[in-house]
Amino acid sequence: MRKRSPLERVRLLGKAGLDVLAALGRSTLFLLRALFGRGSFDNSLTLLCKQLYSVGVLSLAIVVVSGIFIGMVLALQGYSILATYGSEQAVGQMVALTLLRELGPVVTALLFAGRAGSALAAEIGNMKSTEQLSSLEMIGVDPLKYIVAPRLWAGFISLPLLTLIFNVVGIWGGAMVAVSWLGVYEGSFWGNMQNSVDFSTDVLNGIIKSLVFALVVTWIAVFQGYDCEPTSEGISRATTRTVVYASLAVLGLDFILTALMFGDF
Amino acid sequence: MSAANNHDTAVELKGVTFQRGERSIFNNVDIVIPRGKVTAIMGPSGCGKTTLLRLIAAQLMPARGEVWVAGKNLPSLSRSDLFDMRKQMGVLFQSGALFTDLDVFENVAFPLRVHTKLPEEMIRDIVLMKLQAVGLRGAVELMPDELSGGMKRRVALARAIALDPQILLYDEPFAGQDPIAMGVLVRLIRLLNDALGITSIVVSHDLAETASIADYIYVIGEGQVLGQGTPAQLRESDNPRIRQFMTGTADGPVPFHYPAQAYAEDLLGDSNA
């Protein structure tokens, strides 16, 4: 029913741009306050452990299962390609390098955004809509320190660990397919892997990536939850946005990080 | 010397202006809330009653003006001073706002655990006393999702008085309650106010219930204080806006129809317009 003049449209476009900038500013302040703001609790460790459980441990199943299958698929695909060049004994290093450098950090972060990120956003959004955050404030407890900070730290700690687990399980899955099923010689599978994987360029860079992803994904999730409109639609929008923004951020950042780490310039 | 330091005044709003976007919610509002009394803030839905409550609780900051609570101007306090200040205030939110992952006992014990270093036995005694006051000592082990709406509000009330605040704010305490739960809440608000000697501020549009316990009423609307007085004085008021609110008339200064172009014109007019 409502009609918009061209000028009104330009105005709306400008407003949308300003809103994005304002949200970026708000979310940065939010992050800094939650991490470095004054005040702590006697039971901070208990709060952190609770979150480590719900953010980390509960994501374990999906990470382990995906890890096994991705490792198996990598070995299967790698074998069929490498076999045409007669170098199927290199399948070990291929699986390991792919997982450590790229798939491990990226896929784990995407799974984490879907499993833990959406849960965090929905949980905090729900606390907001039921006025639990307001009532914490009125009790004199800063929800940024009590609710947000332990979740942020739990995310930072969990995701790199989950990535390591994903890598290990993936390599194990690859070995299962390559060695036990396709009959690659076990000595060359593991030996080639040992020779070609370098701790600092491969393992460490993968961990650095997953630390960056952990920061970004958890930050997006808790901010979306905290900043959402306190209604059921607001919460569902926040959950969707968390997964979309976090996934895009992970993929975009992965390219930048890879260029910085492995690009020769 | 500010009037807010006067011993008889618990809360004072001076020249408060609050805007949301370009819409002005309050325009230069002055409200004085006496100590130790039940003061009601009434008005039609959407007139900014809850906003006013959040201004007093400093969850929102006014664009202009001063909000004095217990001798302090809230907008001038730092974030950490504000959190300290809020220990003297209790708020009963519309939804109760119990922490859903904690049982009734832990919900009421929460403020005590955060702000005091009391031994466990003493916390237990205080929690049971507060629950006894709202009649729910027997529900101590239940989780919030096992409680009815009215019970949730009573537990939230017990939590709000756990630290013995000087000021209790009630946000729509009667909304969506059955008659019995409503009666219980009406009685509790009056009882707690008199027994604990606190200042109660009730934001509500439930006229009969609120008028039955309030010592003083402010009626707000259109960003202004439309009128104030004891319930009896307001019933006698000549102001047509207050008359409409107190009698619940459908049409009056607040029109039945949302502003629109003339009806006939809208129906018969040019459909391409």
State residue B135 phi and psi, 5-degree precision. Answer: 80, 25
- B114 with A39: Cβ contact below 8 A: no
Q: What is the pTM of this model?
A: 0.83
| Residue of A138, A141, A145 best to disrupt the B interface, most CBs of B under 10 A | A138
A3-25 residues labelled b (16+ CB within 10 A) or e (exposed): eeeeeeeeeeeeeeeeeeeeeee
Q: What is the pLDDT of residue B237?
A: 78
Amino acid occupying residue A43: N
Spatial contact of B193 and B186, defined as CB atoms under 8 Å apart: no
Cβ distance A134 to B59 less than 8 Å, yes or no, reads yes
* Shortest CA distance from A141: residue in chain B: B83
pLDDT, tens digit (0-9, with 9 covering 90-100), for A174-199 = 999 999 999 889 998 999 899 999 88
**Could A135 and B59 be called an inter-chain contact, meaning their C-beta atoms sit closer than 8 Å?**
no
- Which of B56, B99, B117 is the best residue to mutate to test the A interface, defined by the most A CB atoms within 10 Å of its own CB? B99
pLDDT above 70 (res B89): yes
Query: Are A192 and A153 in contact, with CB atoms under 8 Å apart?
Result: no
Looking at the predicted structure, is the pLDDT value of residue A237 above 60? Answer: yes
The minimum CA-CA distance between B254 and chain A, rounded to whole Å, is 25
Residues of chain B positioned with their CB less than 8 A from the CB of A125: none
Q: Under an 8 A CB cutoff, do B87 and A39 touch? A: no
Q: Choose the closest CB to B91 out of A38, A132, A138.
A: A138
Which residues 6+ apart lie within 8 Å of B33 measured at CB? Answer: B9, B10, B11, B12, B39, B199, B201
Average pLDDT over residues A111-135: 93
| Per-residue confidence (pLDDT) for residue B1, from 0 to 100 | 39
β partners of residue B41: B203, B218
pLDDT band at B2 (very low <50, low <70, confident <90, very high): very low
- As for the ipTM of the complex, it is 0.77
Task: Please give the Cα distance from A150 to A47 (Å, whole number).
Answer: 6
Beta strands in chain B (DSSP E): 9-20, 23-34, 38-42, 64-69, 72-73, 89-92, 167-171, 199-204, 216-221, 224-229
Supply the Cα-derived Rg of chain A in whole angstroms.
Answer: 22
> What pLDDT is recorded for position B4?
44
